Amino acid sequence: MTHNGEQSSQGGARVRIAPPLWFAAAIGIGAFLPGLRFRPGAAGVLAGILAVAGAIGLGLPAVGWFRKTGQDPKPWMPSPQLIVRGSYRFSRNPMYVGLTLIVLGIAAISGRGWMAALSFCALAAVHFTAVLPEERYLAGKFGAAYLEYKSRVRRYL
């Protein structure tokens, strides 16, 4: 069973900042920082579109599995069931990978180098403020089942 210090007051992982806010900050700050701008050209726009499409293909099914199993994707809400299907077969954090790809795609399309750099800062922030607390929570709640899943599926890609 999960130790109380690893749970939020709602019964899920102890995550205090909603992970999408880190990625929104990367977009917002990266859009206005001077320097590191480039002309994306057709290849940059295509790369950006492919990144966003990949994000949608990875992230939306992950959210769908939460909905299908009656769970809330907010990490501070309880996880009554371990999801190991769909995009969770390839990544333990497909929504966070998807959000990173969205920021990278927008950066490529808009020609904002700072935005691209900040996408990795956002992922690092999410790693420490959400992923690690989620892993502790899931290990405490699901024990051996989660540890087995963790041993065969990568954290990100």
* Tens-place pLDDT, residues 72-103: 999 999 999 999 999 999 999 999 999 999 99
pLDDT band at 16, cuts 50/70/90? very high
Domain-embedded: residue 118: yes
Domain-embedded: residue 109: yes
pLDDT tens digits for 106-122? Answer: 999 999 999 999 999 99
As a whole number of angstroms, the distance between CA 157 and CA 148 comes to 17
Q: What is the predicted pLDDT for the residue at 97? A: 98
Both tokens of residue 121?
Answer: 């800062």
Burial of 31 (0-12, 13-18, 19+ CB in 10 A): middle
Instruction: Write down the mean pLDDT value for the chain.
Output: 95
pLDDT tens digits for 24-73? Answer: 999 999 999 999 999 999 999 999 999 999 999 999 999 999 999 999 99
Is residue 5 predicted with pLDDT exceeding 90? Answer: no
**Phi and psi torsions of 35, nearest 5°:** 80, 170
Domain-embedded: residue 4: no
Domain-embedded: residue 18: no
Q: What is the predicted pLDDT for the residue at 56? A: 97
As a whole number of angstroms, the distance between CA 80 and CA 112 comes to 40
- Name the nearest CA neighbour of 115 among 44, 12, 17: 44
Domain-embedded: residue 65: yes
Domain-embedded: residue 34: no
Domain-embedded: residue 121: yes
- How many domains would you assign to the chain? 1
- Amino acid letter at 97? V
- Give the range of the structural domain holding residue 50, as residue numbers without chain letter: 40-152
Domain-embedded: residue 5: no
User: Span 119-133, mean pLDDT?
Assistant: 98
As a whole number of angstroms, the distance between CA 84 and CA 93 comes to 11
